[in-house]
Amino acid sequence: MTDQYTFDNPVTRYQQSAPAAEMQQAPPGVEERITPTPDLGADTYRGSGRLTGRKALITGGDSGIGGAVAIAFAREGADVAISYLPIEEADAENIVALIEAEGRTAIAIPGDVMDAAHCRDLVRKAVDGLGGLDILVNNAGKQIAVESLEDISDEQFDETYKTNVYAMFHITKAALPHLKPGSTIINCSSIQAYAPSPNLVDYASTKAAINNFSKGLSQQLAPKGIRVNVVAPGPIWTPLQATGGQPAKDLPTLGEDTPLGRVGQAAELAPAFVFLASPESSYVIGETLNVNGGIPSP
């Protein structure tokens, strides 16, 4: 059976039809309505006990990268809490079912991470439901492409920062009292932090902030035995792209400018998160691990 360990050519590993312009949805989008179907590793990820007994909270864990990480963590032996917007309930139920199919505890916590009070409540519910917390993945994100700075509304700028940066701050702050030595925090940045697209000025700047926040926090927490790292994806086929994250006209060619010549899949991100969450990366701190199809980045 093909899994993440299968030896093959990464250029042709995914031979799906290109995303179509008509796949554009209103945000936040529902994964089950996207064609081609994003690959979260549900049929391919094979666990090996690398996170046995761990307890993880993943924001935006209902679909896309967060959904793929939730599946991988469960198959590696972790219990998992996921946060998501109430409108994404159908996607969340699918991920919960996949977690529970591995015999792991799944905690589903709907709500909006733009709300600071919800961020704190989210951590409390995750800790109560899982019986503790030792992995935090700040993955929830907002990305809306706008050609001109003059056309970015105050509301969009505010919501992008509240979702991508403020939520990371509030959730991490609330989680810290529960994290013991050996715990890990993994934040989600982007290639946009290094090579910002002109139509993603607000989004790209939040991803640069995430890198900087994470590197500073990693220095603060390392002496306490808590590791902070970052994963920076390139163009990945998720609901984020099909809900205004990219102009509709650009969807069919998404990822073609990478050295691999194709868009990435969320299933290809999950192993990076597993590595950074597991003790095998015990000497990796303040690192930004780029998973971007070969785009040169620092």
- DSSP characters over 251-287: GGGTTTTSTT-S-B-GGGTHHHHHHHHSGGGTT--S-
Q: Read off the pTM.
A: 0.94
Residue whose tokens read 């591995």: 102
Task: Give the three-class secondary structure for 298.
Answer: coil
Instruction: Tell me the C-alpha distance between 206 and 167, whole Å.
Output: 12
- CA distances (Å), origin 293, targets 11, 46, 242, 271, 276: 9, 22, 19, 14, 19
* Predicted local confidence at residue 270, as pLDDT: 97
User: Of 45, 84, 161, 203, which is the active-site residue?
Assistant: 203
- Respond yes or no: is residue 194 known to be catalytic: no
* Predicted local confidence at residue 18, as pLDDT: 59
Residue 140 near residue 66, CB atoms below 8 Å = yes
Spell out the domain ranges in the chain. 45-287
Q: Name every residue whose Cβ is closer than 8 Å to that of residue 117 and which is 6 or more positions away in sequence.
A: none
Instruction: Tell me the C-alpha distance between 222 and 6, whole Å.
Output: 35
- pLDDT one digit per residue (tens) for the chain, 298 residues: 588 999 999 998 987 655 665 566 666 666 766 777 889 999 999 999 999 999 999 999 999 999 999 999 999 999 999 999 999 999 999 999 999 999 999 999 999 999 999 999 999 999 999 999 999 999 999 999 999 999 999 999 999 999 999 999 999 999 999 999 999 999 999 999 999 999 999 999 999 999 999 999 999 999 999 999 999 999 998 887 777 778 878 888 888 899 999 999 999 999 999 999 999 999 999 999 999 999 998 7
* Predicted local confidence at residue 125, as pLDDT: 98
Residue 108 near residue 88, CB atoms below 8 Å = no
45-287 CATH fold: Rossmann fold (3.40.50)
